[in-house]
Structure 1
Amino acid sequence: MSNTGIRGFYLLTEAIKNQLLNDVNVNTVTTGDIFDIDISKQSIFPLSHIIINSVTTQEQVLTFNVSVLSMDIVDENKEETTDIFRGNDNEQDVLNTQLQVLNKLIQVLRKGVLYTDQYQLDGDANCEPFYERFENKLAGWTATFNVFVNNDITIC
């Protein structure tokens, strides 16, 4: 039995999870359906969530289309603010730190240890912000990108 299935899915998601957990701005990493996670627990944040959207099988590589959501709780300050640009919450801080989390992951896939371990970014990643998502006012980013993994399956 070839280890492509293991390398292609299990080890890729495990490698991304471990890279995210190495970041000081990530407490928890999950995968699967985001709505199955009990996101009402404040202790799990900041949280990153891995979704495998699709896999394209080619002769030499498997191309995984991956989305990673990185998010944190937006805390509102009870005091009235006069700073219209920043507001009275930490939303910009959350967006800044969670974009850094995803940027680091993308760079490690592009040139770092994940690249060396044969999990290689294909092209560029697209990062899209989100605001006030879910019931506890989360903000963050969704990064979507493709990762090449060696397709070493044999047909014998």
Structure 2
Amino acid sequence: MRTYYQILKLIREKLEADPLVNTVTQGDITEIDLDKQNLFPLAHIQTGTAVIGAKTIDFNLTVFAMDIRDTSNVPRTDKFNGNHNAIDNLNSMLAICNRLFKSIAVLEDDFSIGDNPTCEPFYESRTNTLDGFAMSFVIQIPNTEIAIC
């Protein structure tokens, strides 16, 4: 059975082709190296449940698109924008999510996206200050690997 590999390969290739993405990772999000060893913006693939049906397998996935927030040392009086690029980061990371969705949505027979994905912004302030979007969606693939006689 190769379907899990196919899903990961597809998403990885689409993210690596995005002009804004420098690093693609997968697995447990808490294990991402948040030190300076990763080149940001970073896209992280996290798989959830797989629902096996007679004709299809539905994979619940979340893709995190994130970038490091730059903060200016010059104080700003602009209360809306602050002295950082969080809005710019969110705009760029949402664009990555949108391009990923659109690139998979046109594949038709091989892969299809269930409902429209949901994108939730996040602001991380642990080791590195990261801003981005977490896009959750379902990819459906035909269940043709195993035939029962």
TM range (shorter): over 0.9
Return the TM-score normalized by structure 1: 0.90
| CA apart distance, 1:12 | 0.8
Note the C-alpha offset of 1:39.
Answer: 1.4
Counterpart for residue 93 of structure 1 = 88
Separation in structure 1 between the aligned mates of residue 125 and residue 64 of structure 2, nearest angstrom: 12
Aligned residue in 1 for 2:123: 131
Q: Any conservation in 1 of the 2:40–2:67 contact (CA below 8 Å)?
A: yes
Q: CA RMSD in A?
A: 1.3
Higher helix share: 1
CA contact (8 A) 2:45 2:63 kept: yes
Correspondence list, 1:31-110, <5 A:
31-41=26-36, 43-110=38-105
1:143 aligns with one of 135, 140, 147: 135
What is the aligned residue count? 148
In structure 2, distance between residues paired with 1:134 and 1:53: 24
SS in 2 for 1:124: coil
Distance 1:39 1:11, change over 3 A: same
- Shift of residue 107 of structure 1? 1.2
Write the distance in 1 (CA, Å) between the matches of 2:125 and 2:143.
37
Question: What are structure 1's unaligned runs of at least 5 residues?
Answer: none
The 1-side partners of 2:125 and 2:113 are apart by: 28
Distance 2:59 2:21 in 1: 23
Q: Which runs of 5+ in 2 are unaligned?
A: none
Task: Give the drift of 1:10.
Answer: 0.6
Paired amino acid for 1:16? I
Question: Which consecutive segments of 4 or more residues in structure 1 shift more than 3 A?
Answer: none
| AA aligned opposite 1:144 | S
CA shift digits 1:69-107 (9 cap, x unpaired):
000000000001121111100000000000000011111
**TM-score scaled by structure 2?**
0.94
CA shift at 1:133, angstroms?
A: 4.2
- Counterpart in 2 of 1:26? 21
String of CA shifts for 1:97-156, please: whole Å, max 9, x gaps: 000000111111222xxx246121111101000012431010100000001101002124
What is the aligned partner in structure 1 of residue 148 from structure 2? 155
